[in-house]
Amino acid sequence: MNKLILASKSPRRRELLDRLGLAHTVISIDTDEWYPDDLSPVGIVNHISREKAAAAATMVAPEDVVITADTMVFLDNRKLGKPQSEEEAFEMLSSLSGREHTVCTGVTVMQGNRMLTEAESTRVRFAPLDEDTIRAYIRTGEPMDKAGAYGAQGYGALLIEGIEGDFFNVMGLPIRHLSCMLRKFHVPVL
């Protein structure tokens, strides 16, 4: 019997699969998130997602269906990773203030030698933020482990003026898109 495996350290991805009621096992993988310099934002997240799937392949049975993903925030095609300090979080949030940015997630579904990788992009518009609001948000601790220094599912929702596209993609896993991919591997979601 094949198992559904989420190869991710992200508690948000785990939570989203749990919400769908999909029985799954979680494994943790370590990969170097290197990518060629000439890739587009979508190319970057797809490349890293495939690398994660390749790393997971050595830990699962060939009949298992594996899900990997990589999410990044881009402002003017410049990657905003996870902040390494509160000051870096402040700089990121200040740069996002009153502007639109893109959240891209590359998702790979793999079973044996078969691998499918697709990406989802969502546009997020931040409200104009003053320094006091940014500092108060940073004090919550929420920005420190999130790409772009915010979490749309938490206090970060207070910073967002609008979203165009899949909200769950901003959380790290575009579940509608993933469900279409899983159907191609005969994994029913509904």
| Nearest to 166, CA basis, from 104, 118, 97, 107 | 104
Burial of 62 from C-beta contacts in 10 A (0-12 / 13-18 / 19+) = exposed
End-to-end CA distance of the chain: 19
Name the helix (H) or strand (E) containing 154: none
Strand partners, 5: 25, 66
| Active site members | 70
